Amino acid sequence: MSEQAMIAGMVEKARKAQKTIENATQEQVRELAAAIGWYAIQNAVRWAEVNFEETKMGNIPSKIARTQARARGLMRDLNRTKTVGVIEVDEEKQLMKIAKPVGVIGGLVPTTVPAGVVFIKSMNALMGRNAIIFAPHPRAKKTTNMVANDLRELLGRLGYDKDLIQCIETPSMNLTRELMAQVDLVIATGGAGMVKAAYSSGTPAYGVGAGNVVAVIDETADLADAAKKIVISQQNDLAIGCSTENAIAVQKDVYDACLDAFKAEGAYVCNAEEKKKLQNTLWVDGHLNPEVICTPAKNIAEKSGFTVPDDCTCIIVEETGYGPEYPFSGEKLSVVVTAYKWDTFEDAINLVNGIQAYSGAGHSCGIHSFNEERIMEYAMRTKTARVGVRFAQNMANAGNWNNGMPFTITLGCGTWGGNITCENITAKHYINTTWVAREIPNFTVPTDEELFGKAMTDKRI
């Protein structure tokens, strides 16, 4: 069977299955999403163990915690979300929005968080009365297929068509491309190549950009708190998440004290020779080394030829520049944090924008400061979709109970990152909407003076 025919068969089954829930009520699809979320919580341990065994990336406790937290948080949001029928009414403008299914969605799954991507995208897709077909990353195909098949069996037990969820068993780039060409919408979570392919598929797509979070730390910051939170990010699945801080940019007057605060949290600061060894290990032929990314700091150091304490939490590398000649300025997917020093706040903003123009454009950045004017200036001038204030970014950008960001596992990076949206991708991105417009009673037309003001008397015009 040709690749085209194979995917066509899966899409045909998905379309038939989608028709069976096309007229489902809001209560029915919300209950279905809740069933998947609760099932994920109950099976988080098993999924994490299989995932770690397959990829050897991150750590099992973090994977368990992520699945259970995301399932709970997503359900909080879905309980407040309308995806069926009339979802919005604006009486003043006499406008109404009606939600309708997209149809069949193609879900691209990365190697880093396969279990989470499958169950979260399934909850969102079914909440919108859609079917979804997953394309795994080859390095995580066992986990991806296991979770998808678990959810298929759950659907069957609940009386739904199993083909609402499908997964490519033996993935390849050609099959993924074919899937993207045949579905109605692509939700792409993964590397830059995958996202670019999604946008080039000819099918509407929501993609994500690369992460490379930079956290600014100024002289007003609580240095111990900032160091503790950034180390927490590193330890969360060993920096596997795209929101993990890859670099810190510290005001020069508190730079040494800040590094001391990191050392108190178990960080190890490389010397020049160790930095060179680390670079040669972390990158092989210009690409991140899969044998060391998302592994403990001790393992990374040993493979690089130097020693860190057994309880080392992360490795800090000092740097001055950014761009291709400075690989530590890019995303590292490892418990390696690049430290920069800045003088004026203008320098800090330029540094962050420069680093993220090279890697991580539009994704996220953070700031540890108690100067509200600076925080607002930072938010206004950085080219980023998210600014986390005094947060562990890895634990905040995709939603958490201590902030109002929508729970998700897919983060849009705006046009800076080559994406169509700056938002966290949620259930509202999995539906079409029909606008119903009625005539506004007793409407008035504003005068030109009200509309154009001073422009009407400006002689230059």
- CA dist 458 and 460 (Å) reads 5
- CA dist 73 and 274 (Å) reads 41
Sign of the CA dihedral with 31 first, then 187, 39, and 17 last: positive
Question: Is the Cβ–Cβ distance between 411 and 364 less than 8 Å?
Answer: yes
Q: Which helix or strand (DSSP H or E) is residue 186 part of? A: strand 185-188
- CA dist 239 and 237 (Å) reads 6
Give catalytic residues, as residue numbers. 242
**163 phi, psi to nearest 5 deg:** -75, 5
- Residue 333 is which amino acid? L
Q: Which helix or strand (DSSP H or E) is residue 86 part of? A: strand 85-90
Burial of residue 361 (CB within 10 Å: 0-12, 13-18, 19+) is buried
Enter the DSSP assignment of 191.
-
- CA dist 347 and 262 (Å) reads 23
* 211's tokens: 């992460």
Question: Is the Cβ–Cβ distance between 409 and 116 less than 8 Å?
Answer: yes
